[in-house]
Amino acid sequence: MKFGVVIFPGSNCDHDAYYALAGNLGKNTAYLWHQSEDLQNCDAIILPGGFSYGDYLRTGAIARFSPVMSAVAKFAGSGGLVMGICNGFQILVEAGLLPGALLRNRNLRFVCRTVHLRTETTKTPFTAELRPGELLAMPVAHGEGSYYCDPATLAGLRREDRIVFRYASASGEINDEANPNGSLENIAGIVSEGRNVLGLMPHPERAADPLMGSTDGLRIFASMASHLARGARSESVRLAGLVRQTL
């Protein structure tokens, strides 16, 4: 089992993600350079947070053209696990691997604080080890994290059970006060149609060590590892079929 962490110019959470996977989870992990299409036989890819290419034009708009993203798109298309964290989520949206857009925070200010996430579905490789409704505490740190999509896309996300996390209060209530950026319906993370690509704005790698005050983020990485241990890519197809059967 091998994880890969992509490094873009301006990435600043690549080492954090690497340490969470290699140091805290104890998994074989490699750095992947943005100019290379070689994914080094990794079984899961992490697009970390930061400010790729200085966030010029739009967040993630330039990074999507990096050679590595061509390889990531093919990898995802074949059922490979891909997770985009914060700027990584923005890149996945710009690359068309996830729907919607990440807009400026509603207060037009950078927000950096711990939030609570409510687990909305466990029918993904990223949450299969969690409980429905389970709350996770981890930080956000972004200026453009307000998730938005058109009504038809939102209806599809609901219908297909693809809203993975929502911002919630410490008691699990979904309300405006718990929403740090104005995201539509408090959405903090979504998954692709194949359920193998996850984008989320909060930082699980910053909640993966007891010294950080929370290890809740490690639950997401551990869920990915368990999924890979069970047989990897074929499981994504099974999960997607399971969801369709219950709709």
| Catalytic residue set | 86, 203, 205
12/49 Cα distance (integer angstroms): 6
In the block, tokens 């903090």 appear at 188
Look at residue 177 and give its three-state secondary structure: helix
- Which H, E and C letters describe 218-240, residue by residue? HHHHHHHHHHHHCCCHHHHHHHH
84/152 Cα distance (integer angstroms): 23
15/53 Cα distance (integer angstroms): 17
The answer for residues whose C-beta is within 8 angstroms of residue 62's C-beta and 6 or more apart is: 52, 53, 56
Whether the CB-CB separation of 92 and 47 falls below 8 Å is answered with yes
Neighbours of 242 (CB within 10 A): 12
